[in-house]
Chain A
Amino acid sequence: MSHSFPFRRVYGAAIVLAVITLYGLLSALVGDGIWDALSWVAMAVPLVVIAWKFGSGRRKPTQAANRQ
């Protein structure tokens, strides 16, 4: 039974980010004011993740390269 595809490890973060993005997209659509602000925060999350992953990949080259 055991050795199945590690779905949660591979897709877990992606699904969380998708939910956050979709919330951000809809939040500004249903209201103004605080709803817009919440949308900005949510939509910034995926972009921050990109910057973070890209930056940490550059800082820790060997560790990441070993995991080919």
Chain B
Amino acid sequence: MKIFHSIRPQAVRTWYRIHKWSSLICTAFLLIACITGLPLVFMDELIDLTQPHEHPVATPAGASLVSLDQLVRQTETLYPSLHAYAVALDDDEPRVFVTMTATPNPKSAADLHAVVYDAHTGKQLKQPQFGGSFLDAVFRLHRELFLGLSGELLMGAMSLSFVLSLISGALVYGPFMRRLDFGTYRSQAAARVRWFDLHNLLGIVTLSWALVIGLTGVMNALATPLFGLWRAQTMPALLAPYRGQPVPQRFASIDQAMASAAKALPYMETTSVLFPNAVVGSSRHYIVWTRGKTPMTSRLFTPVLVDASTGQVTVAKALPWYLRLLEVCRPLHFGDYGGLPLKILWALFDVAIIMVLGSGLYLWVSRRRTPIEKELDRLVALKEEESQGV
């Protein structure tokens, strides 16, 4: 590789310094993220295990679905003080989630109350609430340190620092390893050498997984502001024709809104409806979310805006490229797209990263006894002598 012909001692020292500082900045946050991430990988399994839900009755394929309007009316009667926020169809089972809220801008699962129905019989199914549970707390710690949007952005910045530390780490790996075999682990050597070997071995082998997790972590942290940006760019033009008109008191049928959306995008399936909401959606529209029908396209969602007074489609346009990219990459952060074996592998990679963080921290704490800069200078000097000798 040409770039490595001209490694200058100064350049190696710069990479090393970047590696040291970007790692020190993010290590504490990364440890929180990795440790909370471990149970979150198995979130679905843990929820099923600790808070089992009632399953819908078996129905023949093609059985007709219950009216969503009726389910919403039923739920509103149950909770007269709350407003309908959204209706969603479950991915795995024929279930309908009717989500109610007291605030138009729910900040977490605790602000939402979901009532679950059998999609064919309309019978209410027992469902433990996620909001306020232990896993919900772990999830919020992982995502935003209980600090809301600023915490989300902080974790995004830490993810970015992690990516920087991975890249610079891979670059200093070369000079450090040039006289060692790949994967050298000197089990009889001093503690510092053992931790150094472990750091290099685990770090280089898990590098691409860690890069993907770091980059998708940055993207997930930007999801809220990016959706906000898209809303700010899209909504004013769509709402302009309604200016001065009173907000409709009666909304069109949800079933009809779903049907209009399905007709507008025949190659997509409808998955959920967000009720008219001036804060997170449009005060004049249902937002019907649709997605592709193949494994690849099922992660690509397209929103359809349906006029809430007429039930007719206002616009059905694919999201901008940055939001589509976000949607496709999202599962790569969670590891929940390839069954339980992938989740187990995900957890093992996660443990490996915790060990990389721990060993890195150890190497830094024990630095005074063997200044690593001196070691680097020695390694670089060795190389210089060699190249001059030939």
**Chain B's nearest CB lies how many Å from the CB of A5?**
4
In contact, A30 and B205 (Cβ under 8 angstroms): no
Contact A39 B338 (CB under 8 A): yes
- In the complex, A53 Cα to B187 Cα: how many Å? 11
- Could you say which of B7, B212, B341 contacts A40, with CB atoms under 8 Å apart? B341
Q: Which residues of B contact A13 (CB under 8 A)?
A: 182-183
Identity of the chain B residue whose Cβ is nearest the Cβ of A39 in the assembled complex: B338
B174 x A43 contact (CB < 8 A): no
Smallest CB gap from B386: residue in A: A3
CB < 8 Å A-B pair total: 135
Given contacts A5-B383, A61-B188, contact A25 B209 (CB under 8 A): yes
Using known A-B contacts A3-B386, A5-B383, A29-B331, determine if residue A17 contacts B4 with beta carbons closer than 8 Å: no
- CB within 8 Å of B: which A28-62 residues: 28-32, 35-36, 39-40, 43-44, 46-47, 49-50, 52-54, 56-58, 61-62
Please report which residues of chain B, range 331-390, place their CB below 8 angstroms from some CB of chain A when the two chains form the complex: 331-332, 337-339, 341-342, 345, 348-349, 352, 383, 386-387, 389-390
A5–B381 Cα gap in the complex (Å)? Answer: 13
Closest residue on chain B to residue A26 by CB atoms: B332
Q: Contacts of A43 on B, CB cut-off 8 Å?
A: 209, 342, 345, 349
Residue count of chain A within 8 Å CB distance of chain B: 45
Size range of the chain B interface in the assembly: 35 or more
Judge whether B152 is part of the interface by a CB distance below 8 angstroms: no
What chain B residues lie within 8 Å of A65 (beta carbons)?
186, 188-189
- The answer to whether A32 and B201 touch across the interface, beta carbons within 8 angstroms, is no
**A57-B185 in contact given A36-B338, A47-B345 (Cβ < 8 Å):** yes
- The answer, yes or no, to whether B107 is at the interface (CB within 8 Å) is no
Q: In the complex, A18→B349 CA distance in Å?
A: 13
Q: Is the CB of B205 within 8 A of A61?
A: no
The residue on B at minimum CB distance from A66 is B186
Partner of A50, one of B177, B328, B352: B352
> Which residue from B180, B188, B209, B390 sits with its C-beta under 8 Å from A46?
B209
Q: Are A4 and B197 in contact (CB under 8 A)?
A: no
Flag B283-302 by CB within 8 Å of A: 1 or 0 each. 00000000000011000000
Compute how far the CA of A3 lies from the CA of B389 in the bound complex, rounded to whole angstroms: 9
Contact mask B205-217 → A, CB, 8 Å, 1/0?
1111100100000
Nearest residue, chain A, Cβ from B2: A4
A-B residue pairs in contact (CB < 8 Å), sample of 12: A14-B173, A17-B208, A18-B208, A22-B212, A29-B328, A36-B339, A43-B209, A43-B345, A50-B205, A64-B185, A64-B186, A68-B186
